[in-house]
Amino acid sequence: MAKATWLAGVDVGGTTIKLAIFTEEGDFVKKWEVPTDTRDSGHNIPKDIAQTLHETLQLMDADFSFLKGIGVGAPGFIEVETGFIYHAVNIGWKNYPLKERLEKETSVPVFADNDANLAAAGEMWKGAGNGAQNMLCVTLGTGVGGGIISEGLVVHGAYGMAGEIGHITSVPEGGTPCNCGKTGCLETVSSATGIVRLAMEKIQTQKEGALYSLFNEKGTLTSKDVFDAAQQHDTIALDVVHEAMYQLGLAIGNLANSLNPNVIVIGGGVSRAGEYLLKALHPHFNRFALPKIAEETTLRIANLGNDAGVIGAAWLVKQNSMRR
């Protein structure tokens, strides 16, 4: 039997499942993806993961015995110790024993965690975190996700809910309803969706400028459109970016005062604005963080892109293998 030296990372999304095989040092051996079968409440997903891993390993003249373990990241609420999924809306899982099912299919140890936590772990291990032992990762996408690394470990909290940065209340009175059931959450103003919402509200009343013209031309807007227009000094876009970054700076400044991270990594689709985003964010972060923390904390743009989740999943295997 071969000596198990590879780490498998799996990132389960609502549309695709990303998979990769790594060396113990975290170097890619192979990466690929397959469609997510959400039929029958996602019941076929463990079998699909096992099958595509088996087929890929065979092509590499290998089998499951080459794997030290399989790390899996998925959206939703996960009991990390047991790999039990309480609820993953986009997948269809509810009270689902993911670890148990996938171990049965592969006979390989399986470790599971929330996808945002594993994206944070990936950025810490091989990305913008650059090995920082204390790190905050904020993902600005359709919503706002987050992961907290403390002393080199993912923080889960008492019920696995730590890192729900997007649901910090930013607008206490008169805020926009959030999908979580609250109003005025950070993700209603600083996510890609929130940024577009703010822009749409403004162009309905201020019918002028480059952003307004772009909307009339396209019939829609994206957060990229807003940042591009802001860099061209469009007044509406500048106001929207200011509001979104003010609220983000307020939230992460206060989080930094509590957590004292070495690095704060900003990822997700909105982070493609790059240095312009950081330039807009810094003044607000510096205002709300304690002076010593503002001075010592580094803000960086995530650099792993869609690979962060599978890299973090491989890191999870590595961490658990070291404890076994």
**Rounded distance between C-alpha atoms, residue 59 and residue 184, angstroms:** 51
CB 129 within 8 A of CB 265: yes
Over the stretch 116-153, which tens digit does the pLDDT of each residue have? Answer: 899 999 999 999 999 999 999 999 988 898 999 999 99
Where are the strands (E) in the chain, listed by range?
A: 6-12, 16-22, 28-35, 67-74, 77-79, 84-88, 93-97, 110-114, 135-140, 144-150, 153-154, 263-267, 298-301
Q: Which of 66, 94, 71 is nearest to 9 (CA)?
A: 71
Is the model's pLDDT at 7 over the cut of 50?
Answer: yes
Over the stretch 191-212, which tens digit does the pLDDT of each residue have? Answer: 999 999 999 999 988 888 889 8
> What is the predicted pLDDT for the residue at 90?
78
- As a whole number, the mean pLDDT across the chain is 94
The answer to whether 6-121+307-323 and 131-303 have equal CATH topology is yes
CB atoms under 10 Å from CB of 28, counted, come to: 15
CB atoms under 10 Å from CB of 103, counted, come to: 18
Is the model's pLDDT at 227 over the cut of 90?
Answer: yes
Is the model's pLDDT at 224 over the cut of 90?
Answer: yes
**What percentage of the chain reaches a pLDDT higher than 90?**
83
Over the stretch 230-253, which tens digit does the pLDDT of each residue have? Answer: 999 999 999 999 999 999 999 999
> What is the predicted pLDDT for the residue at 294?
97
Read off the pLDDT of each residue in 162-188 and give the average, rounded to a whole number: 93
- Domain assignments of the chain as residue spans, ordered by start: 6-121+307-323, 131-303
Topology of the domain covering 131-303: Nucleotidyltransferase; domain 5 (3.30.420)
Is the model's pLDDT at 88 over the cut of 90?
Answer: no
CB atoms under 10 Å from CB of 323, counted, come to: 5
Is the model's pLDDT at 160 over the cut of 90?
Answer: no
> What is the predicted pLDDT for the residue at 324?
60
The pLDDT confidence band at residue 290, using thresholds 50, 70 and 90, is very high
> Minimum mean pLDDT among 18-27, 74-83, 94-103, 227-236: which range?
74-83
* The two structure tokens encoding residue 315: 């890191």
* Cα-to-chain-centroid distance, residue 311: 12
What is the number of residues in the chain? Answer: 324
pTM more than 0.85? yes
> What is the predicted pLDDT for the residue at 1?
43
- Sign of the torsion angle spanned by Cα atoms 63, 65, 71, 77: positive
- Tell me which architecture the domain covering 6-121+307-323 has in CATH: 2-Layer Sandwich (3.30)
Is the model's pLDDT at 36 over the cut of 90?
Answer: yes
**What percentage of the chain reaches a pLDDT higher than 70?**
99
> What is the predicted pLDDT for the residue at 2?
56
